[in-house]
Amino acid sequence: MAMMLPGVVHAEKSVTDSDPKLTALTQKAVEFKTAGDYLKSREVYEHILKQYPNVPHIRDFERQVWDLNVAIIFGPFETHQTELYTIESGDTLKKIADKFGTTIELIKRRNHLETSRIKPGQKLSVWLGSFTIVIDKSDNTLALKNGEQVVKIYPVSTGKNDSSPAGTFTIKHRYTDPVWFHKGDVVAAKDPKNFLGTRWLGFDLPKYGIHGTIEPERIGQQVSSGCIRMRNGDVQELYEMIPLGTPVTIQE
């Protein structure tokens, strides 16, 4: 049975370009993905992007690569950036995550763990890749990178009146369903008025970070007080991959 991972689009748009080689490559990529071979499917899509940079719907091909990148990171795929780790006595998921510079959430996701219970001798697939984040205020995008590879580009909202600070920072805080402290008020997690949404990735610059939103329709605009807003689904996806200490660059 073919493996179908969440977050990957399996319905392809028809290729309007008349090049039969492009059509054949696209069909091959779809076949690999349908069969569950995401690594080969991604390889074909990357070949298309290199060989046909001016193809119609180029962004659709890019999105296929981005979705496959995330699915490979989340899934049970073994690459040169993963390790099959044997749990030792005294290990916890936190200890393992800290050892490999990853997150508990990503370990659980890759290994289909519903709880944090582990036992000696058990094997876990661990992600070894090192992430960085680059936020571009000029087009309101956030690029998640693994080394030099762009994993995925997300639309974001940045600060109105150019209030998002330019520079390089690190992720210092990670919170699920954060409480919002605003002008002396305390807005509870999940409150409809809580502008932080479902996740908070706080910078080492106090009061600034990446978070969700209660105004998804304004993503792509410069509307925040300086923080970086993402759609809740996007920030939840990002949160699972991003450990403490991850570098974040905000550029003009």
Taking the model in full, what pTM does it have?
Answer: 0.90
What positions carry a catalytic annotation?
A: 211, 227
What is the predicted pLDDT for the residue at 11?
41
DSSP-assigned states of every residue in 40-101 = HHHHHHHHHHHH-TT-TTHHHHHHHHHHHHHHHHHSS---TTEEEEEP-TT--HHHHHHHHT
Residue 56: the pLDDT is 84
| Confidence class for position 247, pLDDT limits 50, 70, 90 | very high
User: Domain map of the chain by residue range?
Assistant: 20-74, 82-127, 131-251
Dist. CA 247–CA 224, nearest whole Å: 21
Encode pLDDT of 29-72 as tens digits.
999 999 999 999 999 999 999 999 998 889 999 999 999 999 99
Separation of alpha carbons 31 and 78, rounded Å: 20
Mean pLDDT of 198-208: 97
Averaged over 80-86, what is the pLDDT? 97
* Domain 131-251: CATH superfamily, name plus number: L,D-transpeptidase catalytic domain-like (2.40.440.10)
Rounded Cα distance between 214 and 197, Å, is 6
For residue 6, pLDDT over 80 is answered with: no
Is the CB of residue 20 less than 8 Å from the CB of residue 54?
no
CATH number for the region 82-127 comes to: 3.10.350.10
3-state secondary structure of 108: helix
